[in-house]
Amino acid sequence: MTDIKTETIAYTSGDTELTGYLAYDAALTQKRPAVLIVHEWWGLKDTMRCRADMLAELGFTAFALDMYGAGKVTDAPEEAQGFMEDAMSDMNRAEARFVSAKDLVSNHNTVDAGKIAAIGYCFGGAVVLHMARAGIDLSGVVSFHGILETASPAEKGKVNARILVLNGADDPFAPPDQVKKFDEEMRRAGADYEIVNYPGVTHAFTNPGADDIAKRLGLPLAYNKTADEDSWARMLTFFDEIFSD
């Protein structure tokens, strides 16, 4: 029987106040792997809290972190774009915000600090891939319909985390040429990585609300139940592999 505990946690990075969401199974007595979750460009919304709860039920300690500060969220694309651009305008600051969350979860009494992964959705996918490129100490990262291009390509030998990219083949935000460039970048860097392309699938395929958002805002988004479930299963297999030691 599980005993899922959840908590909204205020933490800081430099002078920025951040708000994250922690979930874990208090019925488990042993230390366990942790998974950091990085939100879409909308900010830390309930979809990310739901993923944290799902991971907690599977025996992980999950922390949905905040890259924007003060838990900022929006439903407006223009505002989301502004939040994202601000967060990524200073990558040293972005790395510091991520590491603050990683340090927080590493020190949680349920966590095996040597087994930490990060997953990200859309904007969050770009974030976790950047952290892998930057050599942040992680067991692995998983990008769900994330942005693959970067201004800071991985250097050979610097990528320590294993990488899993789960991408919609018809995603206009990660078109085939971008996937090809990412593949070439990872090969040059000597990274341990895998790219999965889902035929006929577009952006935000894991978000059950994507169709409504697409209709309301005219964005190229669509939920795909098959890709959602398959990508989650592939992530769990990936975790089994990276946390097996």
- Segment 153-161 mean pLDDT: 97
Query: Where do the domains of the chain lie?
Result: 4-242
Q: What pLDDT, in 10s, does the model give residues 107-150? A: 999 999 999 999 999 999 999 999 999 999 999 999 999 999 99
Q: What pLDDT, in 10s, does the model give residues 14-30? A: 999 999 999 999 999 99
103 phi/psi in degrees, rounded to 5: -65, -40
Asked whether residue 245 carries a pLDDT value surpassing 80, the answer given is no
Domain formed by 4-242, architecture: 3-Layer(aba) Sandwich (3.40)
- Sequence length of the chain is 245
Q: What percent of the chain has pLDDT above 90?
A: 98
- Segment 75-90 mean pLDDT: 96
**Helix pair angle (77-88, 123-133), 10° resolution:** 10
How far apart, in whole angstroms, are the C-alpha atoms of residue 200 and residue 162?
26
CB 195 within 8 A of CB 178: no
pTM for this entry: 0.98
Alpha-carbon distances, residue 140 vs 43, 62, 105, 163, 241 (angstroms): 22, 14, 15, 6, 10
Please report which confidence band the pLDDT of residue 71 belongs to, taking 50, 70 and 90 as the band edges: confident
89: CB partners within 8 A, 6+ apart: none
Query: What's residue 183's pLDDT?
Result: 98
Residue that the structure tokens 């890259």 belong to: 67
44: CB partners within 8 A, 6+ apart: 19, 20, 21, 64, 65, 66, 68, 71, 73
Q: What pLDDT, in 10s, does the model give residues 200-224? A: 999 999 999 999 999 999 999 999 9
For residue 128, the SS3 value is: helix
- Segment 90-102 mean pLDDT: 97
